[in-house]
């Protein structure tokens, strides 16, 4: 049986649906890595051993693909090295210096199968900027979808991974294949999931404490919403910065720090990240954001490092 290993987000899921349609696959198995972990686990390795043709979609895992001794078709749009393993057929416009906005567009281009799924993959990956691409608008129009519909469908599909529901992610491919695109708007299990995520985000934001223009937000949730909470606090509610803590995320703690572009001029995020790394924290980020996952009993240590830079 064909095995498709795909990213857990809308782009990964729609790319898989497009591939199944393009190849006319009657039977296939689709798996996603453990959510949030960019690696093949035992479950995926066993399936690779067992199954026939293997496809890897929208997963920037060149090192994993490189090490597999079976024929693989690897379709992606992330910037990555050329695979040396001769058994791998790597289809990625980025190798030739070209950009693709999503893996769904790469699959559609390669097999010449275009529909609203192709557009949804782009919207999932780059949000509203997707509407600047004429092809996205055309594909939605053919299906009679408004921009709002399309954004909502992406929210519904992504509710699976935000809820950390790996099984839901894998089942989503079948749901996409078996329903009309418009019909996805009415798919109850996703509507309920998206609703509880929305509630969790609102709940978190209702517990904001403000000190010197910075929002401090503390909550507990099994949902991976911390970056959304911080984004809302800074981009929508207008705080100069947000220090967000999820005190219990599947047994660990998440700390997230985002500042506004203006505040980024006075905060040295790179320095905070290296101080955290020096203390062996798993931290990363860019100019305006920092994310850290740590043991619950080390939260205060992380906050102290961040706070020292806020004074």
- Give the residues lining the site for Mn ion (CB under 5 A): 11, 58, 103, 125
Which of residues 20 and 292 has its CB atom nearest to Mn ion in the complex? 20
Task: Give the nearest distance from C-beta 79 to Mn ion in angstroms.
Answer: 12
- The dihedral region occupied by 250, where left means phi > 0, alpha psi between -120 and 50, and beta the remainder, is left
CA–CA gap between residue 157 and residue 153 (Å, rounded): 6
Rounded to a whole number of angstroms, the CA Rg of the chain reads 20
Query: Distance from CA of residue 77 to its chain's centroid?
Result: 14
Task: Give the nearest distance from C-beta 109 to Mn ion in angstroms.
Answer: 14
Which of residues 58 and 170 has its CB atom nearest to Mn ion in the complex? 58
Task: Give the nearest distance from C-beta 71 to Mn ion in angstroms.
Answer: 23
Which of residues 56 and 214 has its CB atom nearest to Mn ion in the complex? 56
- Secondary structure class of 67 (helix, strand, coil): coil
Q: Is the dihedral of CA 69, 72, 78, 80 positive or negative?
A: positive
Residue 151 in contact with residue 137, Cβ under 8 Å?
A: no
Angle at the Cα of 29 from the Cα atoms of 65 and 192, rounded to 5 degrees: 105
Which of residues 122 and 156 has its CB atom nearest to Mn ion in the complex? 122
Task: Give the nearest distance from C-beta 190 to Mn ion in angstroms.
Answer: 20
Residue nearest to Mn ion (CB): 11
Task: Give the nearest distance from C-beta 102 to Mn ion in angstroms.
Answer: 5
Task: Give the nearest distance from C-beta 60 to Mn ion in angstroms.
Answer: 9
Element (H, E) at 228: helix 226-231
Which of residues 11 and 64 has its CB atom nearest to Mn ion in the complex? 11
Residue 51 in contact with residue 28, Cβ under 8 Å?
A: no
Which of residues 90 and 246 has its CB atom nearest to Mn ion in the complex? 90
CA–CA gap between residue 5 and residue 59 (Å, rounded): 8
Phi, psi of 241 (to 5 degrees): -160, 165
């Amino acid at each position: 049986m064909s095995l498709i290993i795909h990213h857990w987000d809308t782009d990964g899921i729609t790319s898989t649906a497009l591939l199944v349609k393009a190849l006319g696959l009657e039977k296939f198995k689709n798996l996603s890595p453990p959510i949030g972990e960019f690696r093949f686990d035992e479950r995926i390795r066993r399936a690779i051993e067992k199954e026939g043709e293997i496809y890897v979609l929208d997963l920037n895992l060149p090192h994993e693909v490189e090490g597999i001794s079976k024929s693989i078709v690897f379709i992606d749009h992330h910037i990555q090295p050329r695979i040396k393993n001769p058994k791998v057929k790597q289809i990625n416009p980025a190798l030739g210096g070209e950009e693709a906005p999503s893996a769904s567009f790469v699959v559609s281009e390669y097999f010449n199968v275009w529909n609203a799924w192709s557009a949804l993959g782009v919207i999932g990956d780059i949000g509203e900027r997707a509407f600047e691409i004429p092809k996205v608008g055309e594909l939605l129009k053919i299906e009679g979808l408004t921009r709002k519909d399309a954004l909502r469908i992406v929210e519904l599909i992504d509710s699976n991974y935000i809820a950390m529901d790996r099984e839901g992610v894998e089942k989503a491919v079948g749901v996409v294949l078996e329903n009309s695109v418009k019909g996805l708007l009415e798919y109850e299990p996703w509507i309920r999931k998206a609703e509880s995520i929305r509630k969790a985000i609102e709940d978190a934001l209702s517990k904001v404490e403000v000190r010197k223009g910075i929002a401090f937000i503390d909550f507990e949730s099994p949902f991976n919403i911390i970056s959304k909470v911080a984004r809302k606090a800074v981009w929508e509610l207008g705080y100069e910065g947000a220090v967000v803590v999820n005190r219990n995320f599947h047994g660990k703690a998440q700390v997230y720090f985002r500042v506004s572009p203006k505040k980024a001029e006075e905060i040295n995020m790179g320095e905070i990240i290296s101080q955290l790394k020096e203390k062996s924290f798993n931290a990363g980020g860019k100019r305006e954001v920092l994310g850290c996952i740590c043991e619950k009993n080390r939260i205060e240590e992380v906050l102290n490092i961040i706070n020292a830079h806020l004074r």
